[in-house]
Amino acid sequence: MKATGTSNGKIILMGEHSVVYGEPAVALPFLATSIETTVTKTSGAVTLDCVFYQGALSKAPERLLNLVAVITETAARLNQPLQDFNITIKSTIPPERGMGSSAAVAVATIRALYRFFEEPLSHEVLLELTNISETIAHGNPSGLDAAMTSGQDPLFFIKGQPFVPFPLNLTAYLVVADTGISGQTKEAVNSIADLYKTAPELTHTAIATLGRLAEQAKVAIEGDKPVELGLYMKQAHEQLAFLGVSNRMLDDLVQVAVKAGALGAKLTGGGRGGCMIALAADKEAAAAVSSALLDAGAVNTWTYQMGDDKRDD
Ligand code: PMV
C-alpha cells in the first residue's frame, strides 16, 4: 500500500513581510519546482526519508520539528496511530530560498497521508494543518506560503480573507535568481516585529507603503503595464532594505539586474539570503539579465513567462 501527495514552489511578486501585518500580497505558483511525498506501508515505528535525514520519526533532528509536528497532528486528525508507515520526501524546491519549501513539504505530506488513509481532505483542513508547520518554521505566518504551494493560480492575498486568483496578463518575463545563501525568514520576520516596537511610526509607514505598492502592482498586471510594475518592484526593494530584511548580495543582484536592462528587481520571500526576482520586457532582455546575475554570483536562475503563467526554460 502506497500513496503520494504533491505540491509546488511559489514566488512572492510583491508584499512579503507587509502581508504578515494584513497588507495585500501578489504571489505566483512556481511550477518549475515541486515536492512529492510518498507514504508506504511498513511495520513498526514511523520512519522518515528525506534529504536531511533518514531514520525513525521520533529521532528526527531539530530542524525537522515542523515536519514532525505536521505528521503527528495529521495522524491524530485521521485517528491513526503513529506507526506502520514510511514517509519519503523528494523535492526540487531549494530549501530556505524564499520559495516556500517548508510549506510545500507540509502540503505534499498532508495530502499523501490523507490519500494513504483514504480520507477526503478539504482545502480548509489542508491549510490549517500546513499552518501548524509554518507557525513552528516562521513564528507568525501570514498563510501565503500555504495557499500558494497548495494551488496553481496567481493570487492576490490578504491574510484571513478568501484568496483572489487573478490572470497573469503581463507581457514580460520574470527572472528568479538564487543567491546561494540560506534565507532567514524567521529571523527577518522577528526583526521587523522588534522594529515595530522600537520605531513604530517608521515601520508602520514602510509596511503601509509595501501594501500600497502590492495593490499598484496588481493594477499594473491587470493593465499589462510592465514598466510600472518594474518601478513598483524597485520601490518595494528599497522599503524591504530599509526594514533590514535584505543583505549585501541581494542588494548587489538587484543593482546588477537593473543595470543589465531589467525594468525592476527586488528580493522575494523572507530575505537576508534566498532569492531575488527581476522583471524583463522580453525574452532577449531576460536572457541578458539572467546571464548578468549568474556572472555576479547567483548560483541558479529560472525564467518565467508572465503572460502565460509558465516557466520558459
Ligand atoms: O521565505 P518564505 O518563502 O517562507 O516567505 C516568507 C514570506 C513572509 O511574508 C516573509 C512571511 C509570511 O508568513 O508571509
Half-sphere exposure of 300 (CA within 13 A, CB side): 13
- Pairwise pLDDT comparison (143 vs 40), residue with the higher score: 40
Taking the centre of ligand 1 as the mean of its atom positions, its distance from the CA of residue 26, in whole angstroms, is 12
For residue 313, pLDDT beyond 50: no
Banded model confidence at residue 92, pLDDT cuts 50, 70, 90: very high
Q: Is the CB of 143 under 6 A from ligand 1?
A: no
Q: Is the CB of 23 under 6 A from ligand 1?
A: no
Taking the centre of ligand 1 as the mean of its atom positions, its distance from the CA of residue 188, in whole angstroms, is 9
Q: Is the CB of 20 under 6 A from ligand 1?
A: yes
For 12-38, b/e burial (b = at least 16 CB within 10 A) is bbbbbbbbbbebbbbbbbbebbbbbbb
Pocket test for ligand 1, best of 33, 127, 145, 240 (most atoms within 8 A of CB): 145
Of the candidates 98, 257, 112, the one whose C-alpha atom is nearest the C-alpha of residue 182 is 98
Q: Which residues form the catalytic set?
A: 145
Give the lowest-confidence range in 94-108, 139-153, 223-237, 267-281. Answer: 139-153
* pLDDT on residue 311: 45
Q: Is the CB of 96 under 6 A from ligand 1?
A: no
Atom of ligand 1 nearest to the CA of 10: 3
Burial of 311 per CB tally in 10 Å (0-12, 13-18, 19+): middle
Pocket test for ligand 1, best of 7, 8, 18, 19 (most atoms within 8 A of CB): 19
When pLDDT is averaged across residues 61-65 and rounded to a whole number, the result is 93
When pLDDT is averaged across residues 89-111 and rounded to a whole number, the result is 93
Taking the centre of ligand 1 as the mean of its atom positions, its distance from the CA of residue 171, in whole angstroms, is 27
Of the candidates 31, 23, 297, 35, the one whose C-alpha atom is nearest the C-alpha of residue 159 is 23
- The model's pTM is 0.88
Share of the chain above pLDDT 70, in %: 98
Cα–Cα dist 239/246, whole Å: 10
- Pairwise pLDDT comparison (304 vs 194), residue with the higher score: 194
Taking the centre of ligand 1 as the mean of its atom positions, its distance from the CA of residue 12, in whole angstroms, is 8
Q: Which residue has a Cα nearest atom 13 of ligand 1? A: 141
* pLDDT on residue 142: 87
For residue 309, pLDDT beyond 50: no
Q: Is the CB of 15 under 6 A from ligand 1?
A: no
* pLDDT on residue 310: 47
When pLDDT is averaged across residues 230-239 and rounded to a whole number, the result is 98
Banded model confidence at residue 308, pLDDT cuts 50, 70, 90: low
When pLDDT is averaged across residues 272-287 and rounded to a whole number, the result is 97
For residue 96, pLDDT beyond 80: yes
When pLDDT is averaged across residues 141-170 and rounded to a whole number, the result is 89
Pocket test for ligand 1, best of 185, 250, 268 (most atoms within 8 A of CB): 185
